[in-house]
């Protein structure tokens, strides 16, 4: 079995297959140091925690992660909080930075007898005969899992109808060496644009600022970032922000990308290779783990029982879940953003957004819908 990419999808898949005694080789184009220190997602859904715990992959997150159950929404009208542990299915997130999870999964995969080749440059992959060319060497396998992300070669090797949507919104993603300033995930709606606050650890916090498309992150000095966060988070009204050195600033253009289908022959896509989703609802990494679990079950059935029926239905099993996550992500985008300006259309769209927020504040049915979809996957 060949797996392209040592992100969460590829590593979970590899660990599940090794637990079943299936030989796996993971090819990763980056260095081990790079992927073990790359800051990405940090909120694991209840289903992701279940998957990791049931398969002996949760020691680190159960020891060092922490449960999170509250969102706070701030606007020019008021602030309100939702404790989603008490809503919907009663599920919570577990906060555990992705780079920590990747380190855990690499160590466990290697201990289970798996092999990872770091710095391996894959130039082509074929699902027809399950072959891969990496570093000018031809590798053959029974199956290939493309978990190599949006820029990998796997997705280009699956002829599929592609659905794309540019939401026309950009965020400046900021990682600060500063303790969280509030216990909740903070969503601030402001006339200057959205701002977000998400804890990562007791000493590191993720922030987001909505910025114009094409903005250069280098234009945002530490002083400018903190001044804008202070303004949009309404710190004078709700409490000052705990500041620290900014260790990462990058631009995220919010968009959606879904392939239909996500398999060809013996090549199967998972994670960002299968679909891209905006970070508005923390679905990307959790979708990747779900797809890895589904693919692992199908591959184990094919190897152990000589039954390909689950593999043949892999796309049909995953795509409805992908579209469900995309729909809620778009719902969150519409909830948190609105056009600037004072023309009739801009005022109309902002009034609709305010109505959504008020319904979320006042309606238990709306709150249950939010909680179920916010944590569910």
Residues marked active site are found at: 68, 187, 279, 283, 374
- Helix axes 284-305 and 314-336, enclosed angle (nearest 10): 170
Identify the CA nearest to 97 among candidates 65, 68, 54, 69.
Answer: 65
What value, to the nearest 5°, has the Cα angle with vertex 200 and ends 367 and 196? 50
Alpha carbon 224 to chain centroid distance?
27
Measured CA to CA, the distance from residue 118 to residue 26 in angstroms comes to: 8
Residue 277 makes CB contacts below 8 A (sequence gap 6+) with 256, 283, 284, 287, 322, 325, 326, 329
Q: Would you say 145 and 270 are in contact if contact means Cβ atoms under 8 Å apart?
A: yes
- What is the chain's length? 377
Beta-strand relationship, 93-95 and 43-44: antiparallel
Element (H, E) at 111: helix 98-111
CA gap 298, 327 in Å, rounded: 26
242 token code pair: 């705990």
CA distance 333 to 351: 15
CB contact burial 65-78 (16+ within 10 A = b; e otherwise):
beebbbbbbbbeee
Q: What is the 3-state secondary structure (H, E, C) of 289-352?
A: HHHHHHHHHHHHHHHHHCCCHHHHCHHHHHHHHHHHHHHHHHHHHHHHCCCCCCCHHHHHHHHH
Q: What is the DSSP letter of 214?
A: T
Q: If phi over 0 gives left and psi between -120 and 50 gives alpha, with beta otherwise, what is residue 149?
A: left
């Amino acid at each position: 079995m060949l797996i392209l990419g040592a992100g969460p999808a590829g590593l979970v898949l590899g660990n599940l297959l090794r637990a079943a005694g299936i030989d796996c080789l993971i090819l990763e184009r980056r260095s081990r140091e790079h992927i073990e220190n790359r800051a990405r997602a940090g909120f694991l859904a209840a289903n992701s925690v279940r998957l990791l715990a049931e398969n002996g992959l949760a020691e680190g997150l159960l020891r060092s992660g922490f449960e999170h159950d509250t969102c706070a929404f701030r606007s020019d009208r008021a602030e309100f909080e939702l404790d989603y542990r008490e809503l919907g299915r009663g599920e919570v997130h577990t906060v555990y930075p992705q780079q920590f999870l990747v380190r855990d999964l690499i160590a466990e995969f290697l201990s289970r007898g798996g092999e990872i080749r770091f710095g391996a440059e894959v130039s082509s992959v074929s699902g027809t005969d399950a072959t891969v060319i990496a570093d000018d060497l031809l590798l053959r396998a029974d199956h290939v899992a493309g978990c190599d992300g949006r820029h990998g070669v796997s997705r280009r090797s699956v002829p599929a109808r592609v659905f794309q949507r540019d939401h026309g919104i950009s965020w400046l993603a900021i990682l600060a060496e500063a303790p969280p300033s509030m216990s909740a995930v903070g969503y601030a709606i402001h006339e200057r644009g959205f701002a977000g606050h998400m804890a990562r650890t007791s000493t590191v916090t993720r922030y987001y600022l909505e910025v114009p498309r094409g903005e250069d992150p280098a234009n945002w000095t530490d002083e400018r970032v903190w001044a804008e966060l202070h303004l949009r988070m309404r710190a004078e009204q709700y409490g000052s922000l705990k500041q620290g050195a900014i260790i990462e600033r990058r631009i995220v253009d919010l968009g959606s990308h879904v392939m239909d289908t996500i398999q060809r022959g013996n090549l199967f896509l998972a994670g960002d290779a299968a679909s891209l989703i905006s970070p508005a609802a923390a679905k990307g990494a959790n979708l990747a783990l779900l797809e890895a679990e589904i693919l692992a079950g199908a591959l184990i059935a094919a190897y152990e029982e000589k039954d390909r029926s689950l593999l043949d239905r892999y796309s049909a099993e995953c795509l409805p879940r992908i579209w469900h996550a995309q729909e809620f992500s778009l719902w969150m985008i519409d909830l948190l953003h609105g056009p600037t300006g004072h023309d009739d259309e801009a005022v109309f769209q902002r009034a609709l957004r305010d109505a959504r927020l008020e319904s979320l504040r006042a309606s238990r049915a709306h709150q249950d819908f939010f909680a179920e979809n916010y944590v569910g996957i």
